[in-house]
Structure 1
Amino acid sequence: MDFEQVKNKVYRNILEKLPSYLTYHNLAHTEYVMQKAQFLARIEDVSEKDRELLRLASLFHDTGFIENPKNHEEIGCGIAKEYLGKDLSSEEMDKVCGMIMATKIPQSPTNKLERIIADADLEYLGTEDFERQGGALFEELKHFNPSFSEQAWNELQLTFLEKHQYHTDYCKKNREPKKQANIDSVKEKLNLV
């Protein structure tokens, strides 16, 4: 199987056709997750074969948004099976779907590959890019609920950030400190500091 060929087909048929109101769950986010997952996989010393499966899971993890934001992970598994069913063994397909499902909130990864993709998906929470990516998600949520206020968003973010935990050693060590600073920043916005 040629990953670039699959990627181009998924971009053309799905990711480039996602509605413009998906300001967070879009092609740029998918590319970000693919990049971060490969970065973490190298650090975690993942085999070439598993890195390929991780790349596929990253590619498909939000494709379900083309049909429905709710249960998009399950839908994404179905889409992945349509695209990859002939090329992957049932065991490989189960691994890919397991990784896609590991991005479902609340995250509950059960193995190394699932921990990597879960962290790749939310890695930005502990980075300088937190405000920008969070702002994109806020705009997306406002599309579905126009009365969603900045106050409500910050309250939601704070709850989410305080419950969130990283799963890989790298993110625990290198992203958790900045995530704590981002929590403090949200608390300041809510006048809780």
Structure 2
Amino acid sequence: MTDFLLEAERYVEHYFQLFLPKTRCFHTFAITRFVVETCEELAAASDLDWSESEALFLAAWFHGTGFCANDGDRVDNSIHVFNEFIQDQNLSSGFSDMVIRLIRSTSDCCGPSSHLEQQLKDARDRHLASPLYAVMSQFHRQELSLCEGKHYSDAEWRAINISRLRNHQFYTLYAADHWDNQKHINLSELENGLH
């Protein structure tokens, strides 16, 4: 990892320490690091040039910083934090625009429009195919209750998760080949009432 990416990691970690509400128990620095590590795995399995990889990793580091704000749009807030970070950096506008497009692609409103967006969306959704999915899902449920006042019964939460897993698709061939099986195991366990 370059000095620049290490600086970004330290900046994001410090930002989470300072501003992440204690009620955020899913969208934390740990989950951000998990997304970055997954991006590294995906980048290693593809033929990205260094500039693309660096943009992908930066977007992964900053995409969740918007959860530190109590109001406003998470994506817009994340872009704001990224822009604060790069103020004193000597980045080309084309490169910073690429990172911003990638951060914007983490919104749930639309599908990916480039191979980098596909990788970032797959990394962001990697937890769906984790053996720890049931635990991570409960942290997400608790966060929704504490931060957004959304309270779900066990049956409602199970139905939401079943629907999410049934309708989800990984975009990269690597993710589909390596993670779909565990995602289907997680779905099967939910359908059979094991979680």
Could you state the TM-score of these two structures normalised by the residue count of structure 2? Answer: 0.89
Task: Note the 1:89-128 alignment, pairs <5 A.
Answer: 89-128=92-131
Alignment partner, residue 24 of structure 1: 26
Q: CA–CA distance in 2 between the matches of 1:148 and 1:70? A: 23
Gaps of 5+ in 1: none
Matching residue's letter, 1:38: E
Q: Is the 8 A contact 1:107 1:118 kept in 2?
A: no
Displacement of 1:2 after TM fit?
Answer: 2.2
Aligned-pair identity (%): 24
Alignment partner, residue 182 of structure 1: 186
Q: CA–CA distance in 2 between the matches of 1:176 and 1:25? A: 23
Q: CA–CA distance in 1 between the matches of 2:115 and 2:132? A: 25
Matching residue's letter, 1:76: S
Indicate how the Cα distance of structure 1 residues 127 and 69 shifts in structure 2: closer, same or farther if over 3 A, else same. Answer: farther
* Aligned partner of residue 125 in structure 2, secondary structure: helix
Matching residue's letter, 1:128: P
Matching residue's letter, 1:89: S
1:82 has 2:87 as partner = no
Gaps of 5+ in 2: none
Matching residue's letter, 1:187: E
Displacement of 1:146 after TM fit?
Answer: 6.1
Could you state the TM-score of these two structures normalised by the residue count of structure 1? Answer: 0.90
Alignment partner, residue 166 of structure 1: 170
Q: CA–CA distance in 2 between the matches of 1:55 and 1:15? A: 17
Q: Is the 8 A contact 2:56 2:102 kept in 1?
A: yes
Alignment partner, residue 15 of structure 1: 16
The Cα RMSD (Å) is 2.0
Q: CA–CA distance in 2 between the matches of 1:161 and 1:94? A: 32
Q: Is the 8 A contact 1:155 1:190 kept in 2?
A: no
1:139 has 2:139 as partner = no
Matching residue's letter, 2:136: Q
Q: Is the 8 A contact 1:116 1:168 kept in 2?
A: yes
